[in-house]
């Protein structure tokens, strides 16, 4: 009986750790990977697919302060969420977005 309870506790701790690691690698607002997680995944991809062709697209939202300053952070947050949603819908499921 004690072993079964200990195993359940150990399984729950493992599940929580897995969730925590996944959550730590995501931006709370957009759900996209954060920079650290993205860099780790790119390194992993390069190591497991050394001869594979790949592309990188870097985007920056210029003059974002002109949205945030007059309209507030809530509006800026909604713009970032919308931008992230467009990326998620437009890029392949296997794309690494951060």
pLDDT digits (tens, 9 = 90+) for 39-97: 999 999 999 999 998 888 888 889 999 999 999 999 999 999 999 999 999 999 889 89
Residue 5 has pLDDT above 80, yes or no: no
Tell me yes or no: is domain 2-90 CATH 3.30.70.270: yes
Average pLDDT of 8-37? 85
What are the residue boundaries of the structural domains of the chain, listed by start?
2-90
How far CA 74 is from CA of 12, 53, 77, 79, 86, in Å, comes to 36, 39, 5, 9, 18
Spatial separation of the C-alpha atoms in residues 26 and 23, rounded to whole Å: 5
| Inter-residue contact 98 to 37 (CB < 8 Å) | yes
Average pLDDT of 25-41? 92
Owner of token pair 């150990």: 10
Spatial separation of the C-alpha atoms in residues 15 and 32, rounded to whole Å: 21
What is the structure's pLDDT at 23?
A: 75
0.75 surpassed by pTM: no
């Amino acid at each position: 009986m004690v072993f079964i309870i200990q195993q359940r506790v150990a399984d729950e701790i493992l599940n929580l750790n897995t969730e925590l690691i996944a959550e730590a690698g995501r931006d709370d607002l957009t759900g996209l990977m954060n920079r650290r997680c993205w860099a780790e995944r790119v390194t992993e991809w390069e190591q497991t697919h050394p001869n594979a062709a790949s592309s990188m697209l870097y985007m920056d939202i210029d003059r974002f302060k002109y949205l945030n300053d007059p309209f507030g952070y809530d509006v800026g947050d909604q713009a970032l969420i919308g931008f992230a949603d467009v990326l998620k819908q437009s890029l392949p499921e296997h794309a690494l977005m951060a």
